[in-house]
């Protein structure tokens, strides 16, 4: 086991695959995640998923830090109830996580959120930025908000930007423009931060529904002041999810370059990885090695998520 010094800490990101409670929300398209819905979602399945996810989160990056992550960005969470159940589970309770969450206009009712260990991340502020698109028929397509949370890590102000960009469900090429617009929206947020903070330290994380080498990421998001450590990971053939037996790395953590060779700040970047432990994988059959999911289509599998988490390690400079 790799055992770094105590001054290493980690942050994570996890798409938790439709973490819904079992109660029908009449304002959201969540009917299938109820007891009477086509997925027969009930309290037993729900709390099994909470148990599994809380265990995963407690282990992210632990081989390098001996600690649970300071903070974890989450996507595909329904509401405050599921977040509270998650952080209050015995697997996570001792770490004293709190969370930041805003309801979005996403029609499925899945949102982005951030959980953080409040003794290690001193929360200062948060804001949500809407992400919406005008379709060809003139209708507005609402998707998940972008969440920005600012706080102190080792007394250094750090801005966390959590994303869940539009999916490829209508086709990769057909939906590409939406992810490019999302990238531009992130840069509008960065520009807002720069108006208030000189050389802000920024961590951008999310399920971008694009790979590190795709246009939205490479040409529109990771511009001169940003660095994407996940690009090297992807070029090694490592991914965070599979589609038709092909690995993709849609889940990424991207940082501002002032985390590199950081002589003036408190925290500097060490490495980024996919958290793809053997116990998170399907162990046999045609999907062997893929993430062990909760559902495959309408069929209940009882696993964790259709995505692996990703994480980045940082060094607290003495």
Tell me the per-residue pLDDT of 94-104, one tens digit each, with 9 for 90 and over.
999 999 999 98
For 261-307, the pLDDT digits (tens) are 765 668 999 999 999 999 999 998 888 999 999 999 889 999 999 99
Read off the pLDDT of residues 111-134 as tens digits, 9 standing for 90 and up: 999 999 999 999 999 999 999 888
Q: Is 119 exposed, middle or buried (0-12, 13-18, 19+ CB in 10 A)?
A: exposed
Angle between helices 43-59 and 80-88 (to 10 degrees): 60
**In the predicted structure, residue 3 carries a pLDDT above the cut 60:** no
Closest CA to 252 of 299, 216, 294: 216
- pTM to 2 decimal places: 0.95
Kindly report which listed range (28-37, 154-163, 219-228, 283-292) carries the lowest average pLDDT score: 28-37
pLDDT(33) > 70: yes
Contacts of 144 (CB under 8 A, 6+ apart): 75, 104, 106, 110, 111, 112, 131, 163, 164
Three-state SS for 293?
Answer: coil
Average pLDDT value over all residues in the chain: 93
Any alpha helices (H) in the chain, and if so which ranges? 43-59, 62-65, 80-88, 172-196, 215, 230-235
> Which domains are seen in the chain, by residue range?
8-316 (3.60.10.10)
């Amino acid at each position: 086991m790799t055992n770094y010094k105590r001054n290493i800490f980690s942050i994570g990101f996890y798409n938790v695959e439709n973490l819904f409670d079992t109660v029908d929300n009449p304002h959201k398209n969540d009917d299938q995640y109820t007891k009477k819905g086509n997925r027969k979602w009930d309290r037993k399945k729900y709390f099994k998923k909470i148990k599994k996810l809380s265990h995963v989160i407690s282990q992210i990056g632990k081989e390098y830090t001996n600690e649970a992550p300071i903070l974890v960005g989450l996507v595909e969470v329904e509401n405050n109830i599921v977040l509270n159940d998650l952080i209050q589970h015995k697997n996570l309770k001792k770490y004293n996580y709190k969370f930041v969450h805003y309801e979005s206009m996403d029609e499925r009712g899945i949102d982005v959120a951030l959980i953080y260990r409040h003794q290690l991340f001193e929360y200062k502020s948060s804001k949500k930025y809407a992400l919406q698109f005008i379709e060809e028929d003139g209708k507005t397509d609402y998707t998940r908000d972008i969440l920005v949370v600012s706080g102190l890590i080792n007394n250094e102000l750090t801005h966390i930007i959590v994303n869940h960009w539009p999916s490829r469900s209508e086709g990769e090429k057909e939906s590409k423009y939406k992810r490019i617009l999302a990238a531009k929206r992130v840069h509008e947020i960065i520009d807002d931060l720069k108006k208030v903070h000189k050389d802000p330290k920024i961590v951008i994380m999310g399920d971008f529904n694009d790979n590190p080498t795709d246009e939205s990421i490479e040409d529109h998001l990771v511009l001169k002041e940003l660095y994407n450590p996940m690009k090297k990971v992807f070029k090694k053939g490592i991914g965070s999810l599979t589609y038709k037996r092909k690995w993709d790395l849609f889940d990424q953590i991207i940082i501002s370059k002032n985390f590199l060779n950081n002589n003036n700040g408190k925290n500097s970047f060490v490495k980024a990885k996919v958290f793809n432990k053997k116990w998170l994988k399907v162990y046999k059959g045609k999907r062997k090695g893929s993430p062990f999911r909760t559902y495959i289509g309408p069929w209940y599998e009882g696993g964790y998520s259709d995505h692996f988490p990703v994480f980045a390690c940082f060094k607290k400079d003495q």
